[in-house]
C-alpha cells in the first residue's frame, strides 16, 4: 500500500474536528515537545525534515522561517494562506473541515519558532462551514490553554485571528494576501523587500500554506527522520494529491512525494469506464498540462519540472477523450482575465486578448494566424508580468498548443467546436 | 434609507469587536463589509458610509475595496444565494449545463434574484471542491455531485422554503445570517454536518481496507 495517511488519517474519526478527538490521537503532543525546545531548535528540526511549501512553489519551510530577522523591536507575524482558489486545488478545504486542530497546533508551533505573538489565518470567504470549523478549533484551543497567555505554562503568549476573505483568487498570492489583510484591494507588492523583512504592517512575516503548517506537528512529534523516510531525497514527506474529473473514484490521496499518476490512477479505479486519459494538470490550471506520455513521471518538484511543468498544488485534474482541450483552456483564460488584478499591462491586456481569441476559435471565426498570436502573446506575458498569476495564465495556452495544435486547427476547419459537450458530463449516459 | 439609531448602535458595537481582533483598525474593513452585507443582503450606500465613518476612511476608499472583491454585492441577494461552479473542471463535467438549465428554469439571467426574493443565482469560480464536481453552493455551503435534475430540485425546494441539507455543511439559514458568521460572529453550528464526504475519504478508505485485511502496510 503506497498511501501514507497522516493529515487525512483523522478524517474518518467520529467528530474528528473536535479537540477531544484530536487529543485522543496524540493531538497537541507536538506542541508540548516544541515548547520544551529552543525556538531555533524547532526551526532546525523543520529544516532537517526537508518539508517544502505545499502552496505551489515548494520553497523549504524551515529555511523560510530562518529568514525572519531576530533581535529587532518590530513584532513578527505568521500568516497562513487558506485562500485555496487555484482551479483544481481542493485539499486545504477538506483538511480544515476534518482536522482543523492540526492547523491550529501547527500555527502555535510555527509562531513559537519564529517568535510571533499574533498570527492570522486568511480563509477564502466562500466556504462557510470550513470557517466555522476553524473558528471553533481556535476557540477550543484557547479554552484548553493552547492559545492565549502563558501557553501550557511555558511563558509563551500567542493570539490567532481568523480572517475571512471576500472572493479574489489573487489574494492567494502572498503579497496580495497581505495587502488584503491590511484592508486594501488585494494587489501584489513589489519585491524586495520580501515578507520575511517587511510583510504584514511592514513587519517580519512568514506566509505559509495550510498543508505546510498542518504538517509540522507530526514532524516535531515523530522527528525529521520519520518525515524523510517518505518521499524522495529532494522532495521529502507525505502530501495530499487531489484527483478530480474523469476518474472512477475522485478524491484525496495522501501519499509520499514522487508517486506517479499511473499509481494514483490505479488506486482511483482508473479513468471513468469506457474512456481513456487525454490530458491532465499536475498542480492546478497554472501548471502546464501533461498527457498520456507523462503517466510515469514522478510527481515531485524535480520530476514534474523535468517535463516542463510544475508540481504546484498537486491538483490532478483528469480529462478524458470526450473533453475539448480548446474549451478547457478557453474557460481557464476567462478565469485569469476575471481574476487579473489589473496592476500590470502584460497580464491585464494579455488575458483580455486571450479571451477574445478563444471566443473567435469557439465560434468558428478563428484563423491560423490566431494560433500564432496566442503564442506571441504568451511570450509577452511570461516573465514580464508583475506576479505569477500572469505566468500561470500562459501555462494552459502554450502547453495545449504544444500537445494539441491539431485540435485547435480542427476548430478552424470545422467552423467551431467539433465536440459534443454532453459527452463529457457526469450525467452523459442518463440524459443524452 | 439610512440606518435606524438602533441598527447603527448594534453595528457600531459589532464593529468595535471586529476592530479589536487586529493590531491596526483598517484590517477590519473586509469583515465590516461582510457585517454590513448581513444587514441588507448587499453592500448598500449606507453600508459604505458606515464602514467609512467607522474606520476614518473616505467613501471612495471603501468603494475601491468593496468593488475589488466578488462576494460584496451591489444588489440584494435572495434568501438563498446559489452559485454554480463553471470553472473548467466543473463546467466540463456538467456545470455549464446546470447553470444554463437553472437560468431557464428560474427565468433569470446574469446575477439576478427571483421576484419572490427567495433565490439569487450566479456562476462561481473553482470553489475547492473539484473532487465532487459538478458543485453548487448555496449560501456558501457545499451541494456536491450535482446533476441538472438534482440542481433543479434543489432550487425548487429553496423557493418553497424547504431547503435540503448541504452535503458537507451546516443546515441552511439565510444569506444574511451567513454573512454575519463571515464577519466573524459565531453561530454555534460548527458541530453540524459530517467531517468529510466520500471523495475526501477515497484514499483513506483504501488504506483502511488494505491495512485491516492484513495487506502489507
Ligand atoms: C495567483 C496566485 C495564487 C495563489 N494562491 C495560493 C493559495 O490559495 N494558497 C496558497 O497556499 N498559496 C497560494 N499561492 C502561493 C503563495 O504566493 C505562497 O507561495 C504560498 O502561500 C507560500 O506557502 P508555502 O511556502 O507553505 O507553500 C498563490 C500564488 C499565486 C501567484
Ligand atoms: S500579473 Fe496579473 S494579477 Fe499579477 S500583478 Fe499583474 S495584473 Fe495583477
Ligand atoms: S472546478 Fe468547480 S470546484 Fe473546482
Given a cut of 70, is residue A430 above it in pLDDT? no
Cα–Cα distance, A209 to A213 (Å, whole number):
6
Q: What is the mean pLDDT of residues A347-370?
A: 97
3-state SS class at B200: coil
B59 with B92, same domain: the answer is no
Domain annotation covers residue B102:
yes
Q: How confident is residue B215, by pLDDT bands cut at 50, 70 and 90?
A: very low
- Residue-wise pLDDT tens digits, A58-101: 999 999 999 999 888 999 999 999 999 999 999 999 999 999 99
B98 with B165, same domain: the answer is yes
Domain annotation covers residue B188:
no
- Reading the block at residue B145, the C-alpha cell is 455531485
Domain annotation covers residue B57:
yes
CB of A86 sitting under 6 A from ligand 1: yes
Given a cut of 70, is residue A431 above it in pLDDT? no
Given a cut of 60, is residue A287 above it in pLDDT? yes
B104 with B140, same domain: the answer is yes
B63 with B97, same domain: the answer is no
Cα–Cα distance, A366 to A357 (Å, whole number):
7
Residue A71 confidence (pLDDT) = 86
Partners of A252 on chain B (C-beta within 8 Å) are 131, 199-204
How many CA atoms does the CB half-sphere of B30 hold within 13 Å? 32
Cβ(B77)–Cβ(B120) below 8 Å? yes
Cα–Cα distance, A227 to A235 (Å, whole number):
11
- Reading the block at residue A353, the C-alpha cell is 486578448
Among B39, B68, B97, the domain boundary falls at B68
CATH number at residue B20: 1.10.10.1590
Domain annotation covers residue B107:
yes
Q: What is the mean pLDDT of residues A126-150?
A: 98
B84 with B169, same domain: the answer is yes
Given a cut of 90, is residue B13 above it in pLDDT? yes
Domain annotation covers residue B112:
yes
- Residue-wise pLDDT tens digits, A208-253: 999 999 999 999 999 999 999 999 999 999 999 999 999 999 999 9
Number of neighbouring beta carbons within 10 Å of residue B136 = 30
Nearest to A54 by CA among A170, A211, A228: A211
Q: Report yes or no on whether pTM surpasses 0.95.
A: yes
Q: Round the CA-based radius of gyration of chain A to a whole number and report it.
A: 22
B57 with B139, same domain: the answer is no
Cα–Cα distance, B127 to A367 (Å, whole number):
34
Domain annotation covers residue B184:
no
The DSSP 8-state label assigned to residue A223 in this structure reads -
- How much of chain B, in percent, has pLDDT values that exceed 90? 94
Domain span including residue B103: 80-173
Cα–Cα distance, A30 to A10 (Å, whole number):
16
The alpha carbon of B7 is separated from its chain's Cα centroid by a whole number of angstroms, namely 23
Residue B111 confidence (pLDDT) = 81
Q: Which residue of B has its CA nearest to A247?
A: B131
**Is the dihedral angle over the CA atoms A178, A183, A185, A190 positive or is it negative?**
negative
The residue whose C-alpha atom lies closest to atom 24 belonging to ligand 1 is: A53
Domain annotation covers residue B213:
no
Cα–Cα distance, A81 to A64 (Å, whole number):
14
Given a cut of 80, is residue B79 above it in pLDDT? yes
The b/e string for A288-316 (b: 16+ C-beta within 10 A; e otherwise) is bbbbeebeebbbbbebbeeeebbbbbbbb
Contact A244 B133 (CB under 8 A): yes
Domain annotation covers residue B100:
yes
Residue A373 confidence (pLDDT) = 97
Ligand 3: residues within 6 Å at CB? A 87; B 85, 87, 89-90, 126-127, 129-130, 133, 135
Q: What is the mean pLDDT of residues B16-45?
A: 98
**Is the dihedral angle over the CA atoms A406, A409, A413, A417 positive or is it negative?**
positive
Among B43, B68, B93, the domain boundary falls at B68
Cβ(A394)–Cβ(A381) below 8 Å? yes
**Is the dihedral angle over the CA atoms A363, A368, A373, A375 positive or is it negative?**
positive
Given a cut of 60, is residue A376 above it in pLDDT? yes
Residue B213 confidence (pLDDT) = 65
Given a cut of 90, is residue B214 above it in pLDDT? no
Our CA-based measurement puts residue B216 at a distance from the nearest CA of chain A, in whole angstroms, of 6
Q: Which residue of A has its CA nearest to B195?
A: A98
Contact A128 B141 (CB under 8 A): yes
CATH number at residue B125: 3.40.30.10
Residue A432 confidence (pLDDT) = 40
Count interface pairs A-B at CB distance under 8 A: 268
Rounded to 5°, angle at Cα A115 from A111 and A119: 40
Determine which helix (DSSP H) or strand (DSSP E) holds B121, and give its type and residue range: strand B119-124
Q: What's the structural domain count of chain B?
A: 2
B84 with B63, same domain: the answer is no
Cα–Cα distance, B127 to A222 (Å, whole number):
34
Return the minimum-mean-pLDDT range out of A358-367, A421-430, B201-210.
A421-430
B50 with B106, same domain: the answer is no
CB of A85 sitting under 6 A from ligand 1: yes
Cβ(A244)–Cβ(A12) below 8 Å? no
Cα–Cα distance, A177 to B170 (Å, whole number):
28
Q: How confident is residue A1, by pLDDT bands cut at 50, 70 and 90?
A: confident
Contact A250 B133 (CB under 8 A): yes
C-alpha to C-alpha distances, A174 to A271, A335, A345, B81, nearest whole angstrom: 35, 19, 20, 29
Given a cut of 90, is residue A305 above it in pLDDT? yes
3-state SS class at A356: helix
Residue B175 confidence (pLDDT) = 98
Please list the alpha-helical segments (H only) found in A144-209. 174-181, 195-198
B90 with B159, same domain: the answer is yes
B37 with B118, same domain: the answer is no
Contacts of B118 (CB under 8 A, 6+ apart): B78, B79, B80, B158, B159, B161
B62 with B84, same domain: the answer is no
- Residue-wise pLDDT tens digits, A177-211: 999 999 999 999 999 999 999 999 999 999 999 99
Given a cut of 60, is residue B20 above it in pLDDT? yes
Q: What is the mean pLDDT of residues A346-373?
A: 97
Contact A3 B21 (CB under 8 A): no
B74 close contact with A: CB closer than 8 A: no
B127 with B57, same domain: the answer is no
Residue A151 confidence (pLDDT) = 98
Pick A242's closest partner by Cβ from B127, B131, B183. B131
Cα–Cα distance, B1 to B23 (Å, whole number):
33
Q: Which residue of B has its CA nearest to A87?
A: B126
For A:330-369, CB contacts with B below 8 A are 331-332, 335, 338-339, 341
Match 444574511 to its residue by C-alpha cell.
B176
3-state SS class at A128: helix
Q: ipTM > 0.95?
A: yes
Given a cut of 70, is residue B84 above it in pLDDT? yes
Match 520580501 to its residue by C-alpha cell.
A194
Amino acid at each position: 500500500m503506497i498511501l501514507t495517511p497522516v493529515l487525512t488519517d483523522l478524517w474518518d474519526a467520529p467528530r474528528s474536528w473536535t479537540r477531544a478527538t484530536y487529543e485522543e490521537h496524540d493531538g497537541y503532543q507536538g506542541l508540548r515537545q516544541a515548547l520544551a525546545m529552543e525556538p531555533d531548535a524547532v526551526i532546525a528540526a523543520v529544516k532537517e525534515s526537508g518539508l517544502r511549501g505545499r502552496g505551489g512553489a515548494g520553497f523549504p519551510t524551515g529555511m523560510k522561517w530562518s529568514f525572519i530577522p531576530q533581535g529587532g523591536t518590530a513584532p513578527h507575524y505568521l500568516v497562513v494562506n487558506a485562500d485555496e482558489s487555484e482551479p483544481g486545488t481542493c485539499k486545504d478545504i477538506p483538511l480544515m473541515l476534518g482536522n482543523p486542530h492540526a492547523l491550529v497546533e501547527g500555527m502555535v508551533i510555527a509562531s513559537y519558532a519564529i517568535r510571533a505573538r499574533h498570527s492570522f489565518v486568511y480563509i477564502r470567504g466562500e466556504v462557510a462551514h470550513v470557517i466555522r470549523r476553524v473558528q471553533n478549533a481556535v476557540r477550543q484551543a484557547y479554552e484548553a490553554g493552547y492559545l492565549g497567555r502563558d501557553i501550557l505554562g511555558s511563558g509563551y503568549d500567542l493570539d490567532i485571528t481568523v480572517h475571512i476573505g471576500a472572493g479574489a483568487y489573487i489574494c492567494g498570492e502572498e503579497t496580495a494576501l497581505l495587502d488584503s489583510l491590511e484592508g486594501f484591494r488585494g494587489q501584489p507588492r513589489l519585491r524586495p523587500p520580501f515578507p520575511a523583512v517587511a510583510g504584514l504592517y511592514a513587519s517580519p512575516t512568514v506566509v505559509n500554506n495550510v498543508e505546510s503548517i498542518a504538517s509540522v506537528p507530526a514532524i516535531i512529534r515523530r522527528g525529521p527522520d520519520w518525515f524523510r523516510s517518505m518521499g524522495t531525497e529532494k522532495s521529502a514527506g507525505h502530501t495530499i494529491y487531489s484527483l478530480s474529473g474523469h476518474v472512477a473514484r475522485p478524491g484525496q490521496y495522501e501519499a509520499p512525494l514522487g508517486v506517479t499518476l499511473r499509481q494514483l490512477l490505479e488506486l482511483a479505479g482508473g479513468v471513468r469506464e469506457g474512456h481513456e486519459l487525454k490530458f491532465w494538470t499536475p498542480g492546478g490550471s497554472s501548471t502546464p498540462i501533461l498527457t498520456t506520455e507523462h503517466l510515469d513521471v514522478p510527481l515531485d518538484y524535480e520530476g514534474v519540472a523535468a517535463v516542463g511543468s510544475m508540481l504546484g498544488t498537486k491538483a490532478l485534474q483528469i480529462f478524458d477523450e470526450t473533453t475539448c482541450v480548446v474549451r478547457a483552456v478557453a474557460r481557464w483564460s476567462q478565469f485569469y482575465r476575471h481574476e487579473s488584478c489589473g496592476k500590470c499591462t502584460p497580464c491585464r491586456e494579455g488575458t483580455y486578448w486571450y479571451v477574445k481569441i478563444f471566443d473567435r476559435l469557439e465560434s468558428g471565426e478563428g484563423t491560423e494566424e490566431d494560433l500564432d498570436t496566442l503564442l506571441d502573446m504568451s511570450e509577452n506575458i511570461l516573465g514580464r508580468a508583475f506576479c505569477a498569476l500572469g505566468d500561470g495564465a500562459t501555462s494552459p495556452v502554450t502547453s495545449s498548443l504544444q500537445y494539441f495544435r491539431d485540435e485547435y486547427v480542427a476548430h478552424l476547419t470545422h467552423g467551431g467546436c467539433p465536440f459534443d459537450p454532453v459527452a463529457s458530463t457526469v450525467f452523459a449516459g442518463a440524459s443524452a | 434609507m439610512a440606518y435606524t439609531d438602533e441598527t447603527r448602535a448594534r453595528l457600531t458595537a459589532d464593529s468595535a469587536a471586529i476592530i479589536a481582533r487586529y493590531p491596526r483598525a483598517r484590517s477590519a474593513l473586509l469583515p465590516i463589509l461582510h457585517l454590513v452585507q448581513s444587514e441588507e443582503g448587499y453592500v448598500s450606500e449606507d453600508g459604505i458610509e458606515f464602514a467609512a465613518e467607522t474606520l476614518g476612511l473616505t467613501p471612495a476608499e471603501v468603494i475601491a475595496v468593496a468593488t475589488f472583491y466578488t462576494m460584496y454585492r451591489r444588489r440584494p441577494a435572495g434568501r438563498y444565494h446559489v452559485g454554480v461552479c463553471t470553472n473548467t473542471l466543473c463546467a466540463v463535467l456538467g456545470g455549464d449545463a446546470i447553470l444554463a438549465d437553472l437560468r431557464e428554469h428560474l427565468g433569470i439571467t446574469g446575477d439576478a434574484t427571483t421576484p419572490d426574493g427567495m433565490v439569487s443565482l450566479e456562476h462561481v469560480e473553482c470553489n475547492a471542491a473539484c473532487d465532487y464536481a459538478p458543485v453548487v453552493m448555496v449560501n456558501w455551503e457545499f451541494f456536491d455531485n450535482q446533476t441538472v435534475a438534482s440542481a433543479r430540485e434543489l432550487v425548487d425546494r429553496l423557493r418553497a422554503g424547504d431547503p435540503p441539507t448541504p452535503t458537507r455543511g451546516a443546515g441552511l439559514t439565510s444569506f444574511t445570517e451567513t454573512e454575519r458568521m463571515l464577519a466573524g460572529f459565531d453561530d454555534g453550528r460548527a458541530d453540524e454536518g459530517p467531517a468529510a464526504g466520500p471523495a475526501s475519504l477515497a484514499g483513506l478508505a483504501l488504506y483502511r481496507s488494505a491495512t485491516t485485511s492484513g495487506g502489507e502496510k
